[in-house]
Amino acid sequence: MRKKIVAGNWKMNMTKEEGQALISEVINMANDEVKSSTVLVLCPPAPHLGYAKKMFQSQSNVFLGAQNCHEKASGAYTGEISAPMLKSFEVDYVVLGHSERREYFKESDELLKAKTDQVLANQLIPIFCCGESLSQRQAGSGFIEFVCGQLTNSLFHLSAEQFAKVVIAYEPIWAIGTGLTASSEQAQEMHAALRKHIAAQYGEALAQEIPILYGGSAKPSNAPELFACPDVDGGLIGGASLKSRDFIDIAKAIK
């Protein structure tokens, strides 16, 4: 049975007070309303990581995620955050390769390969983001191969044992923060193609174990249909993760 995960990417939002309020609301609602088998991952900006973990230490299904980390373990990289530091703050997951980082910070497949190695070497779980642009989607062909290629280039050097720890997030760039959502048919088509691509490299049994999340303007109204797709194992949620009610309602869409 694959893990079902709903992860909230706060991006560069929330002061300390706002973050504390959001986390306590999420914890209270999660206790009452979310199935204990649904894994919740909160990915606040780095300054929140220290206190956030303490707030949900006793929650068995709420985990802490970072939004990025550096590809080196330490050194003269002012302003950067390393995987060993994240581990020491009891972070569990690290989002890698978000399209905003690929676009604004020019993160390449090669760089993401090194970041993935760092994350895994520090016993953290990568949430590896992939997805096509609007123009690639509109071209009508080749976009599935492009997204599969992102996995090949950044992840397929991993051993099967390492790959088994990875979580994939398919995030069509045209759907992120735009209000446009992939239809459940579009999401299922890509998720199934990614799973097939993983199976060709690592075998069917391992491919069946890898959670593949959908991201891109997911909200309470569209989450039930998206999460009902056989190859969609939850979501990476941006805007809607900043509102406790919406985030929890999305998590409740996992059946």
Question: Which residues are catalytic, by number?
Answer: 98, 171
**Cβ atoms 156, 173 nearer than 8 A:** no
In angstroms, give the least distance from the CB of 39 to ligand PEP.
Answer: 16
Q: What are phi and psi of 6, to 5 degrees?
A: -120, 115
Q: Of residues 47, 50, 142, 177, which one binds ligand PEP by CB under 6 A?
A: 177
Options 52-60, 203-211, 231-239, 247-255: segment touching ligand PEP (CB under 6 A): 231-239
Between residues 5 and 207, which has the closer beta carbon with respect to ligand PEP? 5
CB 58, min distance to ligand PEP, A? 27
Scanning 31-39, 130-138, 141-149, 238-246 for contacts with ligand PEP by CB under 6 A, the matching segment is 238-246
Question: Binding to ligand PEP by residue 236, rule CB under 6 A?
Answer: yes
Interface with ligand PEP (CB under 6 A), residue from 132, 171, 233, 249: 171
Q: Which stretch binds ligand PEP (CB under 6 A): 14-22, 50-58, 158-166, 170-178?
A: 170-178
**Structure-token match 């939002």, residue found:** 13
Catalogue the long-range contacts made by 227-230 (C-beta closer than 8 Å, 24 or more residues apart): 227/4, 227/253, 227/254, 227/255, 228/184, 228/255, 229/184, 229/187, 229/188, 229/191, 230/188, 230/192
- Nearest approach in angstroms of CB 73 to ligand PEP is 26
Contact partners, residue 246, CB within 8 Å, separation at least 6: 219, 220, 240
Give the separation between CA 151 and CA 130, rounded to whole angstroms.
8
